[in-house]
Amino acid sequence: VLSKAALALPGAIGWTPHIVHAHDWQTGLVPALLQRGFCKALPATRSVYTIHNIAFQGAFPGHDMRLAGLDPWLFNPMHSEHFGRFNMLKTGIAFADRVTTVSKRYAEEIQTPEFGWTLDAVIRHHGYKVSGITNGIDARAWDPASDPMLPAHFDAEDLAGKLACKEALRKELGLVPAEGACLVALVSRLTEQKGIDLLIDAVSPYIIAGRMQLAVLGSGDLHLENRLAALQARHPGWVHAWYGYNEALAHRMVAGADAFVVPSRFEPCGLTQMYAMRYGTLPLVRFTGGLADTVRDVSIGDGTGFSFGPIDLGHFSAALDRCLGLYQHFPAEWRAAQRRGMTTDFSWDKAATGYVDLYRGMTWT
């Protein structure tokens, strides 16, 4: 109903779009209905289909296809059928004129069995029309110089307010004012995909040594919440976990932390690492998807954070150790990395140019 209504709307209001841009499996019917002539008022309109997370595919019993208004013969491996089910995401990919993902590297990753969630062969088959455009952030809502949710403001030239944010955050979360300890934050869904289990497994030795404190905001899998609660109980005053959604606290944690961890097993784009860099908080990320596209490791000389490759405890711990070592022993290099991240343009003003170029390349005018 949503897809059909979206295609019927232009005719109802007397408007003919050059392009219809659909997103994820929920709108996978739009490119198919458009190409199959569902809406006679849009004979020349073309389609773009964006995959935000290929793990979510909208797979339904094959007989449900009749409800979609598509020809039954399209239930075949080249169009809508996938492992015996009607797959909405695959349908969108098959019929769209162009397919995009939310980062350049993710467009490459989903063509492999590791990241393709059984659709890698489909993506490779349509690779000629697949590209990646990295997401942007709202640079006005996420601006440390004017953010109304912060106790103090700061910018790349004057970081004094960031220290005030750190002190206020420690007080708010009940963390001890441990001199020299790096305050590490995580704001995330608490799921295996996000690598939360790695973080829990890795941090205790560094906390016991007085090298770091941990602040977590999020909710998700109960067993991970229970493990975080146990970690907090073992390290009172050094670990704090807040379960649920809290926009204001998310801003204060990003601003008050020294480092920000995103150890995801896969990450189509991710936004929190860009928020962190905007606020002078160095991200530690897995080298995957949009995390790889947006974070440059400090080891290359002009980096903005830290990254690791294989998703295991050893590689994550090594990256965490490098992060804490730079913070504690090389403050000038740490500040330089902060400023590089804070002055990088992650705004939608920049990201939108990729879509403008795509749209222009698809139209005659």
Q: Hey, is 316 helix, strand or coil?
A: helix
For the chain, domain boundaries: 2-136+351-362, 160-345
Nearest to 206 by CA among 235, 186, 244: 235
Class assignment of domain 2-136+351-362? alpha beta
In whole angstroms, give the CA distance from residue 276 to residue 254.
Answer: 6
Contact between 344 and 277 under an 8 Å Cβ cutoff? The reply is yes
Question: Is a pLDDT exceeding 80 seen at residue 365?
Answer: no
Q: Tell the CATH topology of 160-345.
A: Rossmann fold (3.40.50)
pLDDT of residue 36: 85
Give residue 325's pLDDT: 98
Q: pLDDT tens-digit profile of 237-252?
A: 999 999 999 999 999 9
Report which of 330, 269, 261, 270 is spatially closest to residue 298, judged by C-alpha positions: 330
The more confident residue out of 259 and 64 is: 259
* 2-136+351-362 matches 160-345 in fold: yes
Task: Give per-residue pLDDT as tens, 125-152.
Answer: 999 999 999 999 999 999 999 999 999 9
Region 283-292 average pLDDT: 98
Interatomic CA distance for residues 22 and 6, integer angstroms = 10
At 296-311, the pLDDT tens digits run: 999 999 999 999 999 9
pTM of the model: 0.93
Check the CA dihedral 178-197-273-318 and report its sign.
positive
Q: Which of helix, strand or coil describes residue 285?
A: strand
Q: For residue 3, give the nearest of 82, 91, 133, 135 by alpha carbon.
A: 91
Span 190-215, mean pLDDT?
A: 97
Lowest average pLDDT, out of 21-25, 53-57, 68-72, 239-243, goes to 68-72
